[in-house]
Amino acid sequence: MPIDFRTDPARYRHWHLAVDGAIATLAMDVDPDASLFPDCALKLNSYDLGVDIELADVVQRLRFEHPAVRVVVLRSAKPGVFCAGANIRMLGQASHGHKVNFCKFTNETRLAIEEATAESGQIWLAALHASAAGGGYELALACDHIMLVVDRRAAVSLPEVPLLGVLPATGGLTRLTDKRRVRGDRADAFCTTEEGLRGARARDWGLVDEIVPPSRWEAAVAARAAALSERSDRPSDARGVLLPPLQRAITGDRIAYPHLDITLDRPGRAAHFLLHGPAGVPDLHAEGAASWPLAAARALDDAILHLRVNEPELGLWLFRTVGAPDAMLATDARLAADDWLAREIRLFWRRVFKRLDVSSRSLITLIEPGSCFAGMLAELVFAADRALANAAPIALSAANFGWFPMGNGLTRLATRFLGDALALAAAHAAIGRALPAEDADTLGLITEAVDPIDWDDTLRQLCEERASFSPDALSAMEANLRFAGPETMETRIFGRLSAWQNWVFQRPGAVGEAGALHRYGSGMKPVFDPERV
């Protein structure tokens, strides 16, 4: 059964959302019997990918459907636990590929929570009335402020190393040192203490922001939420945009979305994306979810997630567009407005492009006659590992110079021209002009302008060659080459931390028959190779 990333509140099994004016309360209440995996009881608010798919949906919906919400209070609906982290039986059963994809998606969701706080005026508050362990504490770490009740049991912990022989890799290690500035030796002590820390020490070490006695808990959470809401610039009187179920038709090897058609070439191990550009300038508020920028982003986002998890053998993604470049540039101009909805749509595309950056697929963009790689859609040229033009133009807009920073904090063009301010300035001076293939090549915006006579051969050769290479080596190479220049907490999470976790996820001490993930809960001790590598 393919995993479906589309969901909506009516179908949620694991979360309750309640909105009261500027304050939303999101309560985690994982249904133990609703795991994606057989025999994985999701006890104690432990989670699998299905739980996180709903969380990602909530994060998204809050931003579009609830413009008035300024603070999201993250709680647990279970009295004895906040969240026990990723389900261990699931980790023991899942394939290496599923585990890696699971971590990638959960990391993206936690980064979306931080982005909502930083960019969108929806500030997340973690209210831990009971223990948060492993991924449960990492979820709290993604919030702007962490409150912890003081009682004999409520603790925060990252027990992965002592208990499971794996890493806290949903950003936990990186956020400890870089976001919360926990001293390295303390972080080491914390991460090797199975039971974690509680009370004053948890606060003094910087693991939580605030500790509260049980008697004052509800009042303190409400007061903190009210105080945080003052920082938000969300509009109070705007009408939200409802996100209806996303239409998708899968017929054989074709996937049809609004504005996006995908053809799967299984023998060639390739997925061909054809994105239809906008027909005119959207009326964002009137059209809502049907407006091109929002509908196309939803389609592309779902397609990336669907193919990543359900079509792992299609290692090559080829991007084509069809449409009017001028309409795309005019749409960009509309999206530049100082308007909460325009901002949300820009941020949504930012997240979609970032998903591409961390997708372990070779990305090839094909600029063909009739295409509309202009402005926002030109980011598909710059996000690609290779971009070839067949005598067709591209065009730049302001969107390419600030709307869509990569995880490294730079735009794709700034990353492309790392340290070459002249090249970047020349590109900037070309904003708005149709740039024929040769000009785009001269400006360094594409990989190659191919002679139309050679187009088919060039393309065939490139695809065949790419499909013949080691998929693992390509994934590793792309994960390095795509991120030139500075690193940020975000790139460190996807680079250093995730790469190490992927390594550990192959080691016998973690995933072998006698490894910690399999032996957990069995009463048998895991067996480790004593050699340090």
Binding window for a second copy (CB under 8 A); candidates: 10-18, 236-244, 368-376, 383-391: 383-391
Binding window for a second copy (CB under 8 A); candidates: 142-150, 218-226, 297-305, 441-449: 441-449
Q: Are 288 and 241 in contact (CB under 8 A)?
A: yes
Q: Which residues in 222-256 are b (16+ Cβ under 10 Å) and which e?
A: eebbeebbeebebeeeeebbebeebebeeeeeebe
Strand partners for 250:
255
Q: Which residues in 469-498 are b (16+ Cβ under 10 Å) and which e?
A: eebeebbeebbeebbeeeebbbbbbbbebb
Beta carbon nearer to a second copy, 290 or 418: 418
Beta carbon nearer to a second copy, 292 or 494: 494
Beta carbon nearer to a second copy, 38 or 184: 184
Q: Are 343 and 120 in contact (CB under 8 A)?
A: yes
Residue with tokens 């190393």: 161
What are the C-alpha distances in Å from 149 to residues 155, 229, 241? 9, 21, 36
Question: Which of 115, 144, 160, 301 touches a second copy (CB under 8 A)?
Answer: 160
Q: Are 378 and 321 in contact (CB under 8 A)?
A: no
By CB under 8 A, is residue 397 in contact with a second copy? no
Beta carbon nearer to a second copy, 90 or 166: 166
By CB under 8 A, is residue 167 in contact with a second copy? yes
Cα 477 from Cα 483, distance rounded (Å):
11
Binding window for a second copy (CB under 8 A); candidates: 75-83, 220-228, 348-356, 521-529: 521-529
Residues 70-109 binding a second copy (CB under 8 A) are: 96-97, 100-101
Question: Which of 227, 506, 514, 524 touches a second copy (CB under 8 A)?
Answer: 506
By CB under 8 A, is residue 396 in contact with a second copy? no
**Residues 462-481: x where in contact with a second copy by CB under 8 A, - otherwise, as a string:** ---xx--xxxxxxxxxxxxx
Binding window for a second copy (CB under 8 A); candidates: 29-37, 45-53, 170-178, 275-283: 170-178
* CA 103 to chain CA centroid, nearest Å: 10
CB of 479 to a second copy, least distance (A): 6
Q: Where are the alpha helices (DSSP H) in 378-493?
A: 379-383, 412-416, 421-429, 437-442, 455-468, 471-481, 489-492
Cα 449 from Cα 432, distance rounded (Å):
20
Residues 313-332 binding a second copy (CB under 8 A) are: 313-315
Question: Which of 384, 389, 396, 427 touches a second copy (CB under 8 A)?
Answer: 384
Strand partners for 261:
256, 274
By CB under 8 A, is residue 204 in contact with a second copy? no
Q: Are 45 and 81 in contact (CB under 8 A)?
A: yes
Cα 446 from Cα 319, distance rounded (Å):
14
Q: Are 190 and 158 in contact (CB under 8 A)?
A: yes
CB of 338 to a second copy, least distance (A): 32
Beta carbon nearer to a second copy, 418 or 429: 418
Q: Are 56 and 8 in contact (CB under 8 A)?
A: no
User: Would you list the DSSP string of 91-147?
Assistant: HHHS-HHHHHHHHHHHHHHHHHHHHHHHHSS-EEEEEESS-EETHHHHHHHTSSEEE
What the block records as the tokens of 46 is: 């432990």
Residues 404-423 binding a second copy (CB under 8 A) are: 415-420
Question: Which of 268, 430, 431, 447 touches a second copy (CB under 8 A)?
Answer: 447
Beta carbon nearer to a second copy, 321 or 408: 408
CB of 166 to a second copy, least distance (A): 6
Nearest partner of 76 among 146, 131, 24, judged by Cα: 131
Is the Cα torsion angle 188, 189, 195, 196 positive or negative in sign? negative
Residues 345-374 binding a second copy (CB under 8 A) are: 360-361
CB of 163 to a second copy, least distance (A): 9
CB of 425 to a second copy, least distance (A): 16
CB of 159 to a second copy, least distance (A): 11
Cα 515 from Cα 512, distance rounded (Å):
5
By CB under 8 A, is residue 513 in contact with a second copy? no
Angle at 160 between CA 476 and CA 48, to 5 degrees: 75
Beta carbon nearer to a second copy, 76 or 157: 157
Residues 175-194 binding a second copy (CB under 8 A) are: 176-178, 181, 183-189, 191-192
Residues 244-273 binding a second copy (CB under 8 A) are: 269
By CB under 8 A, is residue 338 in contact with a second copy? no
Binding window for a second copy (CB under 8 A); candidates: 18-26, 86-94, 289-297, 498-506: 498-506
Cα 387 from Cα 368, distance rounded (Å):
11
Residues 273-312 binding a second copy (CB under 8 A) are: 312
Cα pseudo-dihedral 426, 432, 437, 443, rounded to 10: 10
Beta carbon nearer to a second copy, 236 or 506: 506
Question: Which of 37, 401, 500, 520 touches a second copy (CB under 8 A)?
Answer: 500
Question: Which of 7, 26, 510, 519 touches a second copy (CB under 8 A)?
Answer: 510
By CB under 8 A, is residue 453 in contact with a second copy? no
CB of 308 to a second copy, least distance (A): 8
Number of residues located near a second copy, criterion CB under 8 A: 90
